[in-house]
Structure 1
Amino acid sequence: MNLPMIWFDFGGVLSPPLRDLYLAYEAKTGIAPEQLQDAMREVARGMGLPTLAPVELGLLTEAEWGRRLRSALARLHPGADLSRARLETFGEQWFDGVTANPVMVGTLRHARENGFRVGVLSNNVPEWEPYWRAIIAPAGELDCLIDSCRVGARKPDEEIFRRAEKEAGVAPGDCVLVDDLAENCEAARRRGWRAVHFRDNGRAVAELRAVAAVPSIL
């Protein structure tokens, strides 16, 4: 029996939880998570898109998105101090000081060492690639990378799963997604994939063992 290919999300799986990243950004800039998320939603709403879709699909450059974020923050939260926020080069400041989730990076590496093909399937931004690639460098080589901004589709849209299958040369039933968002896991299952909803390291490792027979590293 062929081993399935395991696809890991970056944000919230291979990286620290998103709530931690938002709090770290607040410490760097003084912008509260709810303020930043309000502005992100406002920029996307003006384009009729989900919150981060404008940059995750490469429809706006990081610089233009940052300018729109700054304008939205000033309008929605006029008392906010934006002087420390480098919004036009958002990724550099967002990822500064961020380190990988060591258990999930170790799990990816461990899976590959045990004969599984491994990939990253992520909604991400072109200008942010140097930063997140450096964060997950300890994971080693990937068999495949599917990035929303490169393929023009983002999770939970079915097209990104179809593109992943085609790029890797695998059938839906031979894919397992590890993702921190339930809607992405549900979309993967509708496509015929197996999925592990990441909530914490221990449960994710146990579920990977159950659904894909990945030997535990814990």
Structure 2
Amino acid sequence: MVWFDFGGVLSPPMADIFAAYERKTGLSREQLESAMHAVTADLGRHPLAALEVALITEAEWGRRLRAALRVRYPGADLSRSRLETFGGQWFDGIEANHAMVATLHAVREHGCRVGILTNNVREWEPYWREIVRPVGDVDCVVNSCEVGVRKPEPAIFRMAADAAGVAPEDCVLVDDVEENCAAARSLGWRAVHHRTDADARDLLFALIELETP
């Protein structure tokens, strides 16, 4: 069972998505990430964790984000930012990472089952699902906002293996966050840290003994 991450693997790199958001809104990655950290600092969690396990709604998170931006960057123009419905604007115009979609197709044609293991947001479901439509059907999707835990928490990897009905040693994760890969490996999974599309493809093909074209 080969599990593909969504953000940064089946989607374009996160740097590209932040750059696209800046073109839409004028807000830089630095401004946005700084405000995101402030939003959930009182919860002692990763900036998106509360959102990705559905502890907070997108609307409330967006209101907090707007307030944090006003405090940290009082001169920032927020007029183009739809922060309370963030996902629609964040994903607008974003297409799948076609190189990794092709890799997924090759893996599936090789006879492996494939799944998506993602930290994601309940209100963003229609947007990211549309982006990965070129993937086609997958055998299993495990989404943090539905199961209440997120990568790199061990529980989500156990849930994923159970959902697919496979042993941990039969799972391979492709993820752009090394911490997630390390967590998966600690539970008996194999993992490929996605740095570039070509390297991730070659490493994955070597793991599942698929010849690189």
Q: TM-score w.r.t. structure 2 length?
A: 0.98
1:149-197 Cα offsets, whole Å, 9 max, x none, are 0000100000000110111111110000000001000000001100000
Aligned equivalent of 1:38: 34
| 1:88 paired to 2:84 | yes
- SS of residue matched to 2:61: helix
In structure 1, give the amino acid aligned to 2:35. Answer: A
Q: Tell me how far 1:214 sits from its aligned partner.
A: 3.3
Where does the alignment leave 5 or more consecutive residues of structure 1 unmatched? none
Cα distance in 2 between the residues matched to 1:132 and 1:172: 27
Letter in 2 for 1:77: Y
Aligned Cα RMSD in Å? 0.8
Contact 1:57–1:148 (8 Å) recurs in 2: yes
AA matched with 2:182? E
SS state at 2:40 partner: helix
Which residue among 190, 197, 210 is the counterpart of 1:194? 190
- Asked if residue 57 in structure 1 is aligned to residue 53 in structure 2, the reply is yes
Alpha-carbon distance, 1:136 to partner: 0.8
* 1:127 and 2:123 matched: yes
Q: Which amino acid aligns with 1:93?
A: Q
1:12 equivalent among 1, 5, 8: 8
Query: How far, CA to CA, are the matches of 1:44 and 1:50 in structure 2?
Result: 7
Q: Percent identity?
A: 60
Q: Is the 8 A contact 1:188 1:194 kept in 2?
A: yes
Selected match of 2:159 from 163, 168, 178: 163
The one-letter amino acid paired with 1:168 is A
Aligned residue number for residue 18 of structure 2: 22
C-alpha separation between the residues in 1 aligned to 2:153 and 2:144?
10
SS at structure 1 position matched to 2:17 = helix
- For residues 106-144 of structure 1, give each alpha carbon's deviation from its aligned partner in whole angstroms, at most 9, with x where no partner exists: 111221122110000000000111111111111110100
Q: Displacement, 1:75?
A: 0.6
* Residues 94-105 of structure 1 mapped to structure 2, 5 A cutoff: 94-105=90-101
Structure 1 segments, 4+ long, off by >6 Å, are: none
Do residues 75 (structure 1) and 71 (structure 2) align? yes
Alpha-carbon distance in 2 for matches of 1:100, 1:55 = 22
8 Å Cα contact 1:111/1:215 also seen in 2? no
- Specify the SS of the correspondent of 1:66: helix
Residue 215 of structure 1 deviates from its aligned partner by 4.0
Q: The residue matched to 1:46 in structure 2 has which SS?
A: helix
Q: Which residue of 2 aligns with 1:108?
A: 104
Q: How far is the alpha carbon of 1:17 from its aligned partner?
A: 0.3
Q: Does the Cα contact within 8 Å between 1:179 and 1:196 map onto a contact in 2?
A: yes
Structure 2 residues without counterparts, runs of 5 or longer: none
CA separation in 2, counterparts of 1:215 and 1:103?
16
SS of structure 2 residue aligned to 1:210: helix
